[in-house]
Amino acid sequence: MGRAHHLVIHKLVGGTRVIDAMGPDPRPIEWHGLFFGPTATVRARTVDAMKDSGAAIPLSWGSFYDTVVISQFVAEYKHEWEVRYHIAVELVTSTSGQGAISLDTSVLNDINSALALGIS
């Protein structure tokens, strides 16, 4: 997890520079993994549909809880039971560090995301 600060730099005649600090500019969150088992292809297609929808979705792990949009999902289908993937997401909002969410809330968020995509 790294962050930069978004800057706009105006270069004026004579070499003068005016720098406008626009706020935090978080880097994309990326990882790779493997879907394995009888539902591997279905899970990969579900994530691909989430990417295509462009919807803001919850992402949580450990003490992190963020709202993200999937910017890239690349799946490598070995066969129906084995799909390797790479995913990148852009941060919309972050509640990380503001306390962990409950398991009930996490499950409810996942169900709402699936319902929004028409997945049952």
Q: Residue 97 pLDDT > 60, yes or no?
A: no
- Nearest residue to 92 (alpha-carbon basis) of 35, 32, 26: 26
Span 42-64, pLDDT tens digits: 999 999 999 999 999 999 888 88
Residue predicted with more confidence, 3 or 4:
4
pTM: 0.66
Nearest-Å Rg of the Cα atoms of the chain is 19
**How many C-beta neighbours within 10 Å does residue 68 have?**
20
Length of the chain: 120
Residue predicted with more confidence, 85 or 120:
85
What are the extents of the domains in the chain? 28-116
Q: Taking each helix axis as running N to C, give the angle between helix 40-53 and helix 103-116, from 0 to 180 degrees, rounded to the nearest 10.
A: 80
pLDDT at 23: 84
Residues 6 or more apart whose CB falls under 8 angstroms from that of 96 comprise: 63, 64, 65, 66
Residue 18 in tokens: 């005016």
